[in-house]
Amino acid sequence: MSSVLSFFQRSLFLQVSAIFVGTLTVMSIALQVLLQTTLMFWLFPDIMEQHAEATAELVFLLENVPEEARPVVLSAYSGPRRKAILQAEFPDGASPSDALGAPFHNSDDETIAAIADREPRFRMLRSSELDEAQRNLAGPSMRGISALEVSLQMSDGQVLTVLMSPTATFGTPGTWLVLMIVAAVFVASIVGLRFVFRPLRTLEETAHTIGRTTKPKPIEEKGTEDLRRVTRALNEMQDRVQSLLADRSRMLAALAHDIRTSLTHMKLRLDKIGSEEADLLQGDVDLMDRLLSDMLLYARAEQPTTKPELVNICDFLPAFAASLPYPVETNVEQDQFWVAAERAALTRAITNLTDNAKTYAGTVELSSQRTPEGLTILVEDRGPGIPEAALEHIFDPFYRAEPSRNRETGGSGLGLTISRALLSAQGATLTVQNRTEGGVRATIVFPRELEVIE
């Protein structure tokens, strides 16, 4: 129950839908009650005029049939919306009414005129009063929220009481029509709400992509004015984030370039010294040089400078696997999936992933398949996997799950970071997790929106 309530509190669509359904239900009940109580009381004079002749005919029949036949006449007259009974005296609270009695006094019909001097008495009954009036009566109960009670004295002194409930009840066809209309309005309103909330869902999806790719698309401003303002603010935020990322990349690239220039001068001077100590220093300088190369690549990854080209990923992957210096098991989607991307960036990004698999597991599996999200590429191995505590940090710059600083096994700690940055610049996403059967699975997803249809 608490989980359902929590989900309900998180969903604005459900909250608005619940408010709408509640309001519609209350309005329907209120309208039904109004129509069948107060409003119907205003209509009772017209209803009495319609039933005056039938009531007069009933009096005529009852007074001209044997006593034992009267129950049959009363039963034939009675139904789900009216009931006639004989009583010893007038019901309590019944009184004459000029408005309701007018059809009996002003009619030219001979049958009605014959009982004009009977002084009919009337009561307008609400639901509880109708139930009380039927409490001691035989036969099925009348259904109705309001009713009109008409009482006339027979020639033998008995009182004929007729209960009429001409209003629609929950068992009549009219009510089913009303319920069907309410259901149709409800369905149409839900569809309308989904249409209204569609821009909000687009905002949600775009907000998720801001941190996953460096190429988020501007959101189209549509919907209500409130949603347009939110969309405009989100687009401005995306622009600011991209500007900050570009500034960071330029600063990092400039810093790495200047340090690398100094390292080059150091290498030239060490070459002239020619001592054993100089050789050791030369190794350290080479390590620093490679680290700076990775830093430069990382800095430029999110801000590509080359023009993208059309690449069919399903053709690119087999050619890429064939170019590697080690064997790779491939199972690639045979369909076409064209994207506008930098071929060199794709090659470097996936190479980092396959190199990691080869280094730590000795085997590499490369596969791809179409999914509802787009095209998914998997780079898998059957190695020992990554410690769970390290999984959430593997994309952090300079973080290494392998604790040693051995360049042969550990690298600079920028490989996965660079791969994700390169793929993000192409509009793709990269995630890494351990496989249940052992090993590591790197998942690259090219969203369906990136596909170029020729």
d(CA 135, CA 123): 16
CATH code for the structural domain at 306-450: 3.30.565.10
Q: Which residues of the chain have pLDDT under 50?
A: 8-9, 37-39, 168-174, 404-407
Between CA 63 and CA 75, with CA 69 as vertex, the angle to 5 degrees is 95
209-303 and 306-450: identical CATH topology: no
Candidates 132, 129, 172, 126; CA nearest to 145 is 126
In a 3-state reduction of DSSP, which class is residue 156?
coil
309 in Cβ contact with 343 (< 8 Å): yes
Using one digit for the tens of pLDDT, what is the confidence trace for 389-430?
888 878 777 666 665 444 455 556 677 888 888 888 888 889
Using CB atoms within 10 Å of the CB of residue 392, give its burial: 0 to 12 exposed, 13 to 18 middle, 19+ buried.
exposed
Residue type, 11: S
Chain CA centroid to CA 251, Å: 43
> Which of the listed CATH numbers 1.20.120, 1.10.10, 1.10.287, 3.30.160 matches domain 209-303?
1.10.287
List residues bridging with 365 in a β-sheet: 329, 380
Task: State residue 220's pLDDT score.
Answer: 74
List residues bridging with 447 in a β-sheet: 374
Chain CA centroid to CA 91, Å: 58
Task: State residue 67's pLDDT score.
Answer: 85
List the chain domain ranges: 36-164, 209-303, 306-450
d(CA 348, CA 354): 10
Q: Exposed e or buried b for every residue in 304-334, given b needs 16+ CB within 10 A?
A: beeeeeebebbebbeebbeeeeeebeeebbe
d(CA 240, CA 247): 11
